[in-house]
Structure 1
Amino acid sequence: MADLPVSADYRRLFLDEAVFMDLRSPGEFAHGAFPGATSLPLMTDEERAQVGTCYKQRGQDAAIALGHRLVAGDERERRVAAWCEFARRHPQGYLYCWRGGLRSQTVQQWLADEGIVYPRIEGGYKALRRFLLEELAHSLQQARLVLVSGRTGTGKTRVIHALQGALDLEGMARHRGSSFGHLPEPQPSQIDFENAVSIAFLQQLARRSGPVVLEDEGRLIGRLALPENLRQHMQQAPLLVVEEPLEERVAVILDDYINDLGARYALRHGTVEGPALHRARLLEGLDGIRKRLGGARHQALRATMEQAFDLQHSRGDPQVHRGWIRELLEAYYDPMYSYQLAQRDGTELFRGNRQQVVDYARSQLFC
């Protein structure tokens, strides 16, 4: 065991986008993991609970003995085969458990018994997670943040995707950041999101000079909260403000939330269930802002949205959604944006349409 490789170079692991074999239980993995990690548990949640109870009642030796009885025979062979297959497919990978203790050491030895020498992460998941929390704080002290701001529908995310020096927080959160931003795919856990953000900053600062450009976000992206230290730095960051005429903004919303989002629901859930789920999600989003709209306006907009979906279904024409989109922008999102922009402490660097903002950023920020 003493001769088997151990790594504690956490920075290099994340910079190299290392692949991980996560040996924790499925429940632990679901609570939080890292990009590039695959769940291949030594024990199930139930087995881990039994071993934990045994440890508390009878001590470590009894718990270890129980673990070996639970993971034995055909079940052990099946799990060892899965670990061997993973290691052969990912010879540059690493394994870890919660703290780099008995679980990862046991699997590392069982792999060695099969002729596979596979490195273990010193300190396990806990050490990697602590490193990322500390590293995000360090990155934010080093980084110069610039925010892309603008009214809803100006295409801020399009600007983010056009700049190599930008990070897509909404992409990492798997949500488009508004009341209507639910995607067909579920959002990651809060810990997964925080880990992804820290890794993205680490990699960006290591690979590129210049500022880190982010889309202006509120405290929440869907159900996920921005790390508080990131939110505070964003509050004071300078702004690039995107301006587009109302009809262009309506077209962007139509493309993003009707055409693209509808296609994604259909692809994931089928051509019957997908459109129904898409419609239901957008109506739920409207219901979620009922109080802010006021009862009468909410009911009128809901009726207009339902009618638009009916017409789209019968005619196959998504343009019928323009009416409720335009009204929602003018009556709800524009006043809210004006208020939120007034709360920002950062100075305005530039104001223009999408292409002008992209050109400014490329010539002035990344020159």
Structure 2
Amino acid sequence: MFRDITVEDMMVLREKGKNVLIDVRSPSEFNHSTIPGSLNIPLFNDEERAEVGTLYKQVSPEAAQERGLEIVSAKLPDFIKAFKQLDKEITVFCWRGGMRSKTSATVLDLMNVKVNRLQGGVRAYRKWVVNKTERMDLPQKAYVLNGNTGTGKTLILRTLQKEGYPVIDLEEMANHRGSIFGQIGLQPHNQKTFDSLLIERLEQLKDSSYVLFEGESKRIGRAVLPDAFSDFKEKGIQIFIEMPIEERIQHILEDYQPWKYKGECMEAFRKIKSRIHTPIAAQIEEGLKTEEFSLVVKLLLEYYYDPRYKFSADQYPDSHKVTLQVQNVGEAVEKIKNLIGQSSQKGKRVASI
């Protein structure tokens, strides 16, 4: 018989690397919001789910159940085969831990596939995330990475994370780079997905005395930082990276690859065009049309992003600021490691998960 487990049970299994989570809801439900790291093996596709739901509402629950049984029966061999290819203990879930996950768990159990069912499904998990967000357990100290656009802050953090430092990658969690051009080439995450990724990362880093993350604004794409985390950020040690503009331009070109997204770049620029001195704005627009992307980036930095950054940087008192002048990302990484100090590193590193 399959076993019902709680969200807390599930988190313990995941931490030990002994469990794979399977969302049996439809693809559109999965894509909207799921438990991070889950795989989607749907019991119904979107059209089938809509058909069964219509029968339930307009005819009767019995009619919906009969049609659902017809649909599931036809796809059972492929459904079970997909699960048997997995080499870990399985936990299935749906929206409320109801019929879809119960049916899936029952069938898999009959086929000798060891399986758990998550009590309360995604809804119970979301409640767990909300409770954690409201009572956020944060480390003692934050190192907050600031710097002009293009200083490679995300690359610096990801390099440190690969080396085992306790990094929270907010841009990755939001799937957005945090500027008006930030979603180009990306599909930004919604608030539920962002919250889940942030809370789970904090759970992974709960034994660390400090964390490193970028000094993002309150909103990152479609996601908003929780108030407690924003307050934590403001009280942290603010590291300001200063880097030559030529290096910054190169970082931006490598990251955004504007030649692949010319239309999206033009659309994003026109949202801020009115905030830039008219002759400069005209020059930028012409540069986008003629694909002079290095010039475009240089003008955007000098006449839009750098002045805005200076204003926000001036809001922090000098007692909370550390300025690091570097030539490149590699030098920045080494200086940050030195700043944190060898005594902080020993025993405090957390493996990248």
Aligned Cα RMSD in Å? 2.8
Distance 1:305 1:4, change over 3 A: closer
Deviation per residue, 1:64-83 (Å, 9 max, x gap): 334223433xx233xx4234
Q: Identify the range of structure 1 (83-92 vs 331-340) with the bigger mean alpha-carbon deviation.
A: 83-92
Change (3 A) 1:104 1:187: same
- By percentage of residues, which structure has more helix? 1
Deviation by residue 1:92-142 (Cα, 9 ceiling, x = unmatched): 231111111211111111112222231111211111222123234444445
Cα deviation, residue 57, structure 1: 5.3
Map 1:39-50 → 2, pairs under 5 A: 39-50=40-51
SS of 2:88 mapped into structure 1 = coil
Contact preservation (8 Å) 2:4, 2:118? yes
Report what 1:216 is aligned to: 215
Q: Given that residues 160 and 214 in structure 1 are in contact (C-alpha distance below 8 angstroms), is that contact kept between their aligned partners in structure 2?
A: yes
In the alignment, structure 1 segments of 5+ residues that lack a partner are 266-274, 311-319
Q: 2:249 aligns to what?
A: 253
1:6 aligned residue: 4
Provide the C-alpha distance between the structure 1 equivalents of 2:27 and 2:62, rounded to a whole number of angstroms: 24
Shift of residue 90, structure 1, vs aligned partner: 3.4
Q: CA deviation at 1:148?
A: 0.9
Distance in 2 between residues matched to 1:13 and 1:185, nearest whole Å: 31
Instruction: Tell me which amino acid in the other structure corresponds to 1:181.
Output: G
**How far off its partner does 1:228 sit?**
4.3
> Quick one: distance in 1 between partners of 2:218 and 2:99?
39
The one-letter code of the counterpart of 2:11 is R
**What whole-Å deviation, never above 9, does each CA across 1:43-74 have from its counterpart, x for those lacking one?**
223333343344445665554334223433xx
> Quick check: 1:334 aligned with 2:330?
no
Contact residue 147 and residue 214 of structure 1 kept, 8 A: yes
**Structure-to-structure mapping, 1:81-160, within 5 angstroms:** 81-142=78-139, 144-160=141-157
Tell me if structure 1 keeps the 8 A contact 2:14–2:20.
no
TM-score, normalised via structure 2 length: 0.82
Counterpart secondary structure, 1:205: coil
Q: How does 1:1-367 map to 2 (within 5 A)?
A: 3-8=1-6, 9-16=9-16, 18-56=19-57, 60-72=61-73, 75-77=74-76, 80-142=77-139, 144-163=141-160, 164-206=165-207, 209-244=208-243, 248-254=244-250, 256-262=251-257, 275=259, 277-307=260-290, 309=291, 321=294, 323-343=295-315, 348-353=320-325, 354=332, 355-363=334-342, 365-366=344-345
> When the two structures are aligned, how many residues end up with a matched partner?
332
Contact 1:235 1:346 in 2 (8 A): no
Are the equivalent residues in 1 in contact too, given 2:148–2:305 (CA < 8 A)?
Answer: yes
Q: Distance in 1 between matches of 2:143 and 2:59?
A: 56
User: Could you tell me how far apart the structure 2 residues matched to 1:281 and 1:362 are?
Assistant: 42
Cα pair 1:240 1:351 within 8 Å, conserved? yes
The amino acid of 2:108's aligned partner reads L
Q: Provide the secondary structure at the position in 2 that maps to 1:90.
A: coil
The AA in structure 2 aligned to 1:251 is E
Matched letter for residue 357 of structure 1: I
> 1-side partners of 2:268 and 2:247: how far apart?
19
Q: For residue 360 of structure 1, report the CA deviation from its aligned partner.
A: 0.4
Query: What letter matches 1:106 in structure 2?
Result: T
| Secondary structure, aligned partner of 2:239 | strand
SS in 1 for 2:52: helix
Query: What residue identity is the alignment partner of 2:94?
Result: C
In the TM superposition, residue 143 of structure 1 has moved relative to its aligned partner by 5.2
For structure 2, which runs of at least 5 residues remain unmatched after alignment?
326-331, 347-353
**CA distance, structure 1, for counterparts of residue 343 and residue 221 of structure 2:** 32
- Give the conservation status (yes or no) of the 8 Å contact 1:238–1:346: no
- 1:33 is paired with a residue whose SS is coil
User: What displacement does 1:40 show?
Assistant: 1.4
Partner Cα distance (1:56, 1:261) in 2: 47
SS in 1 for 2:194: helix
